[in-house]
Chains A and B, each alone.
Chain A
């Protein structure tokens, strides 16, 4: 069935009898849909801002684009974490033009207004020309984002002050964030260095791709070849696992895989030194959480998606990835490596080596994902005559596999509720 789509049809079509789940390709192409997505999703949902480890000391700051806004993320002198719109209350210039650093205050270079890391106006040239109570109501301070909250070191913002609480929003995803956060006793930290890139494809394609267990064998054939060629870089563990709908559009796949994990699946390549180290790490997890949970943390992989644009993949290394659409066919992607603060230099080195083998725009796998996404976007130019994507795999089963398409259906069901209910498409 690939009948023509009509504007009257919903973007998501589910046929429960025939067990099919289809998504209209115009959802990836139509500029009006992107505007609706900003209004109903990016302006309304909790969005990932940054990781606590990016602001270690008082005065540390990061400036970052989130959903087209320039956001200033700071730790102030009282050690409180803040998020402000990076715009001078005076005449609107961006107050901070650096990407990150440490500062006692921020001075807008245009007219010289100075703000503390707590956002409060500290001084302005020509103060005598303003009334004494000029800022008594705080109108000359940096404007804080309406909502800011964190869960286990992951900081989120929301532009809708009436949004549900972050714990409620994260729903079932919290338990899975715990599994990542529990890998360290001292706290997880971002490793230095950001992978930033642009993909010429709709942002929802990366959502689907990030939790897609089905494409690995084909798209990543050369990565699997590489693992086979590297002496000792595979353990005798077959790919196997399950997908879960975590509520509110979040989803995860959890599975075993043959690659090494710094916490903590040993591979022969890592030698005796690595074996001792990984056994120590695993043993400590058992002490802290008992064997069952320790094994789950150490031996299972997770690709997790948090609606609408955060991916936490705990695989051969841990990556945090967030992305923002700038056009129907363009998104800006940022990727980071997350690691236990206390891990040894040995583990850090192998973690980063593992990361680069697979992940990121110079790895042995991600470039092929980028190619696949861009090819899909090109394919959608045929959408008038060939209008539907199919994500039905596993819809006929009770218990889905990690390589079924439940995760994407969880996303699209939430997407449809938010965009279509409001837009009346």
Chain B
């Protein structure tokens, strides 16, 4: 039986690749099912500590579960102008490691490069994931997804209109 103590890196990788695939295919409602009910999604500003809290510092994105659902709903509307027509994206996830096994969650790290192409322009977002995963009867689920950008601000990217 799979328990948190014996989850393998292969399993974590499969899970992260699935997540990336769902994002790149814009299957955002299915993607949302990979998150726990108390989940959060964070992208800190690039001039603060990677483990900063959105209660104290300014982030680019700090969604709780409700706002994450709303983000998905928004992105699927044609009135989400920044993503209409939808951009093409590709999330490349690599260097996956289980950094820490806690009693009730895994701390997982990975490197990620995401390309976003729209209107003939391709933008690159470079960063790392610092995710907290839990094990449920349905398999691994995300309690916190944190994308820490290895960039000096969003240049030349003018926005994070996709999910990183």
Contacts and interface: CB of A to CB of B under 8 A. Distances in A.
Interface residues of B, number: 40
Contacts of B59: 193, 352, 356, 362
Interface stretch (B6-14, B48-56, B90-98, B99-107): B48-56
Contact of B45 (A195, A357, A378): A195
A219 B158 contact: no
Indicate the size class of the contact surface on chain A: 35 or more
A239 interface: no
Given A192-B56, A195-B45, A372-B81, A226 B74 contact: yes
Contacts of B58: 191-195, 336-337, 352, 355-356, 360
Interface in B112-164: 119, 121, 152-161
Top 4 nearest A-B pairs (CB, nearest first) are A196-B153, A193-B58, A193-B45, A362-B60
B110 interface: no
A198 B155 CA distance: 5
Given A196-B152, A199-B158, A356-B61, A370 B55 contact: no
15 contacts: A193-B44, A193-B48, A196-B46, A197-B155, A197-B158, A219-B81, A221-B77, A226-B70, A230-B66, A352-B58, A361-B157, A362-B59, A362-B60, A368-B81, A374-B158
Interface of B: 43-48, 52, 54-62, 66-67, 70-71, 73-74, 77, 79-83, 119, 121, 152-161
A99 interface: yes
B159 A195 contact: no
A222 interface: yes
A279 interface: no
B60 A352 contact: no
A104 interface: no
Contacts of B61: 356, 362
User: In the complex, which of the residues A226, A349, A367 has the most CB atoms of chain B within 10 Å of its own CB atom?
Assistant: A367
A364 B71 contact: yes
Contacts of B46: 194, 196
Interface string A362-383: 1010111011101000100000
For chain B, what secondary structure do more than half of its interface residues adopt (helix, strand, loop), or is it mixed?
A: loop
A16 interface: no
Contacts of A349: 55
B74 to A, nearest CB: 4
A398 interface: no
Given A196-B155, A225-B79, A372-B81, 17 more contacts: A191-B57, A193-B48, A193-B58, A196-B45, A197-B154, A198-B158, A225-B77, A229-B73, A337-B58, A348-B55, A352-B62, A356-B58, A356-B62, A360-B60, A366-B159, A367-B159, A371-B161
Given A221-B79, A230-B66, A364-B74, A195 B158 contact: no
A197 B47 contact: no
